[in-house]
Structure 1
Amino acid sequence: MSGETTAAVLRPDRARPTADLIPIHRSNSRSKEHQTMTASVDVAGQQFIGGRRRRGTSAEELVVVNPSNGERLAEDVHASPADVDEAVAAARAAFRSWSRTTPARRSELLHALAAELQGMSAELAALESAQGGKPIKLAAGFDVPGTIDNVSFFAGAARNLDGKASAEYSGQHTSSIRREPIGVIGSISPWNYPFQMAGWKILPAVAAGNTIVLKPSELTPITSVLFAEAAQRVGIPDGVINVVTGHGSTVGSALVAHADVDMVSFTGSTAVGRQVAATAAGAIKRVHLELGGKAPFLVFDDADLEAAARGAVAGSLINAGQDCTAATRAYVQRRHYDAFVERVAELMAGVVVGAVDDPATDLGSLISTAHRDRVAAMVDRARDAGAEVVTGGAPGTGELARGAYYQPTLLVGAAQDSEIVRDEVFGPVLVALPFDGDDEGLALANDTRYGLAASAWTGSVFRAQRAAAEIQAGCVWINDHIPIISEMPHGGYKASGSAKDMSTYSLEEYTQLKHVMSASAPEPHKDWHDLVVTVAGDGPPR
């Protein structure tokens, strides 16, 4: 896709409306223009170590499956702790040279990588769609171009690592700041946006001069390996980017605990994030955590109701709701509540659920049948506890029963302290609850242990400013929900973690600061010496 198309995906000022991610008023029939997209990229070997794609060395088979239809996409063997050792050793060996590579050269190589990935975009989108069970239009219009835009951004950012200006702060010395790479980064990325998350982990790390060992989810490793392989083709040295694929309990744990890993970066659940932080703390490693979310969607009584309803459908159903920033809790001021519920239900009923390689499909499958069953069980428990299912509330039927599909679901009548309101569902499920005054609405929005993202819908600049200031989240959208942009940070408050992805803020997190203090004059005697020792001929302390 062209750069302008990429920009339009990420920048709301030039983008199509967010609701267009999920077109409304379609029948549930397959598009006449549907053509099966088959990737031509080699997907054999899901490890990439020291510049070479290879198979793992554990005793456990690795099978990558399209969750929308059960088709096998790739087969390999899981990595072993020995593979982790080899990958970390390759990263350590590459670090000395890569960390001394000039920012201009690192930038040049990343620009080349962006061009290389652009040329692979159709194949990457097909594979990203297939391994994740996501609609091809989302993979081709958001995941892949958004990641390529990130590569281009960090290619520029590599040459813009700022430090404090050199100056004579003491009067007798010149102080300056060096911003240096940390070393070998051990990163663990999730399955919901595998290509994007590979980019979010790899790009700031290597742009700052670090080397990396990435462990993608064993469910969706294919495009992460292709990312690393493309980087090698354009000249990024062997060992700078390594990928090991296996279970978190074995490969992930070995990576986090590895003595030669200097920093750990993890994106995933808050529960696992705590384990990662605890392990890393024992070795005093830098930790970068981007964790769960339970985003509130706050609709005031002066909001544009149609815009809010469309935003709620798109914001809750993107990637089948498997998004830590997805709209999950819609708090609607009572005057609009009934109309909002009615319109959202109507819009959800028009969503096309179907084959993920069909360009007409709006909603794909969940990542696995096990995860679909988990989502279904949460909805069933909510229903048993008194919540009402307005629409959806069941797995896919007919042909869709072959895959891990779950219907777009709207719930009402749930209690604020119920599981469905408090905990991550990570599926196409939205809960709507009413509120009265502004104070109550803001309090309900903040009534969560999470703080990753939120949105407020209002026609009042004063309400918008208050919501932006008082909602405890790393990102607050006003009259929109979901758009991201390479220049701005992504990360949360509270149990959602404190690290930032994207933007120069994330680049800084992969660096460490060094203060260099140089004497301004060659005299052997410094005034402060007299506070410690008096040397004959120097005179009394001053």
Structure 2
Amino acid sequence: MNDFTLISASDSSLSDHAFIGRHLIAGAWRDSADGATFDRSSPSHGALISRSAKGGEAETLAAIAAARRAFDAGDWAFSSGKARATLLNRVADLIDLERERIARIEVLESGKPIAQARAEIEGAADIWRYAAALARTIHGDSHNSLGADMLGLVLKEPIGVAAMITPWNFPFLIVSQKLPFALAAGCTAVVKPSELTPSTTVILGELLIEAGLPDGVCNIVLGYGDPVGTILSTHPDVDMVSFTGSTGVGKRIVAAAAGTLKKVSLELGGKNPQVIFPDADLDAAADAITFGVHFNAGECCNSGSRIIVHEDVAQVLTDKVVALSRKVPFGDPLDDRTQVGAIISDQHMAKIYGYVRDAQAAGAQVVLGGGELTVPGLDGRFYQPTVVAGVTPEMAIAREEVFGPVLSVLTFRTEEQAIALANDAAYGLSAGVWSRDVHTCLTFARRLRAGTVWTNTWMDGFSELPFGGVKESGLGRELGRYGIEEYLELKTVQMRVARGRANWVAG
């Protein structure tokens, strides 16, 4: 019996007026030259939420030119760390003031729960403040050990114009993992948000103007990957592309950027394992697993979408996860009680269905869920919390991103087998291990090929700690002091301090 916890539509009425989004280019809000627009309807309510200018070649080239001029003029690139930090802190304060407005439009465009959205906006403000602190700590090195005649300097300079292409699942949070670090480094930027969730980035542009960011330092172009993302990835006046999204698109960006050899930073997909040993706290593990797979409806690169559990406790743990999953409130994302909202699009819903159907055909057992949820009062798309047992390593559901609230359960007998299963994926974004034995946890942390490893917890995050993956999960890191390094170039300056230089040609 699939008895789930549903939150019906609340009394919250939607506005009759859609949010109107325009491009921000050289400090001015612009419609598209051809007047083209695109609409976004709520995946949870079905109503029209936003109408945005649809960027084309003209708008993209204008934004790149504005960012290039702003960088080459040098006013921002050579501004003091104190000045940049002051502005970034001002943006953080404005984000806090606008938290409810930002959260609401993000809920309506993405389908995520309002309580989660508020927390993400609060976390984004913290990232802006952390980046502000880094703006005052950038420094190079000096080398006075090169002999009496020479002094060497290593300068850290902004890389230039950074293009940022951001996804639909955490639109405000992820742009805040990129843009403040680029600005703190002295770069200028062109930002392209997902066409599914463009509006909170537009609001961020409003806050940047209010905070006093100079014209052209940050530009925003709304629209689709083709042509906007394609031009950003190939244009010679763009010095760097930072992209978060699917591994497939990331590979295409690398190929497109090769023509100009621009730097590429990628945060891509994950098929993240949690390994559970028989001595683990199974109640704590079950709760974290339930959170990890259902958070953001599973539409998360860090989703804990596969567990690798010891055979001795596999059934007990699975039963606990199933029981907890039935209690997770799915439904109206505008209700404070809701923990899981809607699926982003019809196409994505079909993809989730496909993975579960194919796993069943291959012999796996769906022990919970596996179908669509009907939420009273809502004209949206919701997928049931789903647990699939009897999964084997060769199944697609065990190897590929489902990006939905679907958990795959695999089992192991020996530690070596568990390590092999955990590393048996093209991805390497994050991983987890559950054991009361610190030696077991440390062994796994060192042997798992992943950018982040959690022990006896899942998906905690801090502005101070870097985030990114290995293998096909990406290139480079965001957050932490390493996050600002992505936007800096090293320059060596060699200074002869002695008055004379020995002649090479005898005179």
User: How many angstroms apart in 1 are the aligned matches of 2:295 and 2:21?
Assistant: 30
One-letter amino acid matched to 1:377: G
- 1:129 equivalenced with 2:107 (yes/no): yes
User: How many angstroms apart in 2 are the aligned matches of 1:97 and 1:88?
Assistant: 17
User: How many angstroms apart in 1 are the aligned matches of 2:183 and 2:275?
Assistant: 38
- Aligned 8 A contact 1:53 1:229 in 2: no
- 1:422 equivalenced with 2:399 (yes/no): yes
User: How many angstroms apart in 2 are the aligned matches of 1:59 and 1:339?
Assistant: 59
With over 3 angstroms needed to count, the CA separation of the structure-2 counterparts of 1:474 and 1:283, relative to structure 1, is same
- Aligned 8 A contact 2:127 2:176 in 1: yes
Q: Which residue of 1 aligns with 2:479?
A: 502
Correspondences of 1:269-288 after superposition (within 5 Å):
269-288=246-265
- 1:482 equivalenced with 2:459 (yes/no): yes
Superposition deviation, residue 121 in structure 1: 0.6
- 1:363 equivalenced with 2:340 (yes/no): yes
Partner secondary structure for residue 402 of structure 1: coil
One-letter amino acid matched to 2:261: I
Instruction: Report Cα offsets for 1:213-239 as digits up to 9, x if no partner.
Output: 011100001001111220111111111
Partner secondary structure for residue 70 of structure 2: helix
Partner secondary structure for residue 265 of structure 1: strand
User: How many angstroms apart in 1 are the aligned matches of 2:377 and 2:168?
Assistant: 21
Partner secondary structure for residue 177 of structure 1: strand
Superposition deviation, residue 163 in structure 1: 2.1
With over 3 angstroms needed to count, the CA separation of the structure-2 counterparts of 1:40 and 1:438, relative to structure 1, is farther
Q: Which residue of 2 aligns with 1:78?
A: 54
User: How many angstroms apart in 2 are the aligned matches of 1:30 and 1:398?
Assistant: 6
Select the structure that is richer in strand: 2
TM-score, reference length from structure 1: 0.90
Deviates more, 1:255-264 or 1:55-64: 55-64
- Aligned 8 A contact 2:164 2:178 in 1: yes
One-letter amino acid matched to 1:488: L
Superposition deviation, residue 42 in structure 1: 8.6
Q: Which residue of 2 aligns with 1:11?
A: none
Q: Which residue of 2 aligns with 1:230?
A: 207
Instruction: Report Cα offsets for 1:391-427 as digits up to 9, x if no partner.
Output: 0110112537721210111001122111111111011
- Aligned 8 A contact 1:45 1:54 in 2: no
One-letter amino acid matched to 2:297: A
- 1:385 equivalenced with 2:362 (yes/no): yes
Superposition deviation, residue 60 in structure 1: 4.5
User: How many angstroms apart in 1 are the aligned matches of 2:22 and 2:505?
Assistant: 63
Q: Which residue of 2 aligns with 1:90?
A: 66
- Aligned 8 A contact 2:297 2:405 in 1: yes
Instruction: Report Cα offsets for 1:56-82 as digits up to 9, x if no partner.
Output: 235653112211111111113310111
Q: What percent identity do the matched residue pairs reach?
A: 37
Q: Which residue of 1 aligns with 2:313?
A: 336
With over 3 angstroms needed to count, the CA separation of the structure-2 counterparts of 1:287 and 1:461, relative to structure 1, is same
User: How many angstroms apart in 1 are the aligned matches of 2:314 and 2:377?
Assistant: 32
Q: Which residue of 2 aligns with 1:204?
A: 181
Q: Which residue of 2 aligns with 1:155?
A: 132
TM-score, reference length from structure 2: 0.96
Q: Which residue of 2 aligns with 1:456?
A: 433
- Aligned 8 A contact 2:367 2:387 in 1: yes
Superposition deviation, residue 241 in structure 1: 0.9
Instruction: Report Cα offsets for 1:374-393 as digits up to 9, x if no partner.
Output: 11111111111111111011
User: How many angstroms apart in 1 are the aligned matches of 2:279 and 2:208?
Assistant: 50
Q: 1:54 aligns with which of 20, 30, 35?
A: 30
Q: Which residue of 2 aligns with 1:538?
A: none
User: How many angstroms apart in 2 are the aligned matches of 1:338 and 1:105?
Assistant: 58
User: How many angstroms apart in 2 are the aligned matches of 1:180 and 1:388?
Assistant: 55
One-letter amino acid matched to 1:226: I
Superposition deviation, residue 149 in structure 1: 0.4
Instruction: Report Cα offsets for 1:46-101 as digits up to 9, x if no partner.
Output: 32111122322356531122111111111133101110011111111211221011
Q: Which residue of 2 aligns with 1:139?
A: 117
With over 3 angstroms needed to count, the CA separation of the structure-2 counterparts of 1:133 and 1:274, relative to structure 1, is same
Superposition deviation, residue 361 in structure 1: 0.8
- 1:322 equivalenced with 2:294 (yes/no): no
User: How many angstroms apart in 2 are the aligned matches of 1:178 and 1:38?
Assistant: 52
- Aligned 8 A contact 1:194 1:216 in 2: yes
Q: Which residue of 2 aligns with 1:20?
A: none
Superposition deviation, residue 40 in structure 1: 12
Partner secondary structure for residue 518 of structure 1: strand
User: How many angstroms apart in 2 are the aligned matches of 1:125 and 1:282?
Assistant: 39
Instruction: Report Cα offsets for 1:439-468 as digits up to 9, x if no partner.
Output: 111110000010000111110010011011
One-letter amino acid matched to 1:53: W
Q: Which residue of 2 aligns with 1:3?
A: none
Q: Which residue of 2 aligns with 1:431?
A: 408
- 1:533 equivalenced with 2:502 (yes/no): no
One-letter amino acid matched to 2:75: S
Q: Which residue of 1 aligns with 2:79?
A: 101
User: How many angstroms apart in 2 are the aligned matches of 1:424 and 1:249?
Assistant: 24
Structure 2: which 5+ residue stretches go unaligned?
none
Deviates more, 1:395-404 or 1:345-354: 395-404
- Aligned 8 A contact 2:289 2:304 in 1: yes
Deviates more, 1:43-52 or 1:216-225: 43-52
- 1:305 equivalenced with 2:282 (yes/no): yes
User: How many angstroms apart in 1 are the aligned matches of 2:481 and 2:206?
Assistant: 25
One-letter amino acid matched to 2:54: H
Partner secondary structure for residue 75 of structure 1: strand
Superposition deviation, residue 38 in structure 1: 6.1
Structure 1: which 5+ residue stretches go unaligned?
1-24, 536-542
- Aligned 8 A contact 1:295 1:328 in 2: yes
Length, aligned pairs only: 503
Superposition deviation, residue 288 in structure 1: 0.8
User: How many angstroms apart in 1 are the aligned matches of 2:307 and 2:118?
Assistant: 29
One-letter amino acid matched to 2:372: P
- Aligned 8 A contact 1:369 1:403 in 2: no
Cα RMSD between the aligned structures? 1.9
Superposition deviation, residue 336 in structure 1: 1.0
User: How many angstroms apart in 2 are the aligned matches of 1:79 and 1:89?
Assistant: 15
User: How many angstroms apart in 1 are the aligned matches of 2:84 and 2:424?
Assistant: 44
Instruction: Report Cα offsets for 1:486-520 as digits up to 9, x if no partner.
Output: 01101001111121111110101100001111112
Deviates more, 1:318-327 or 1:75-84: 75-84
With over 3 angstroms needed to count, the CA separation of the structure-2 counterparts of 1:504 and 1:367, relative to structure 1, is same
- Aligned 8 A contact 1:289 1:498 in 2: yes
- Aligned 8 A contact 1:84 1:255 in 2: yes
- Aligned 8 A contact 2:8 2:377 in 1: no
Instruction: Report Cα offsets for 1:331-350 as digits up to 9, x if no partner.
Output: 00111101011100011111
Superposition deviation, residue 113 in structure 1: 0.7
With over 3 angstroms needed to count, the CA separation of the structure-2 counterparts of 1:91 and 1:40, relative to structure 1, is farther
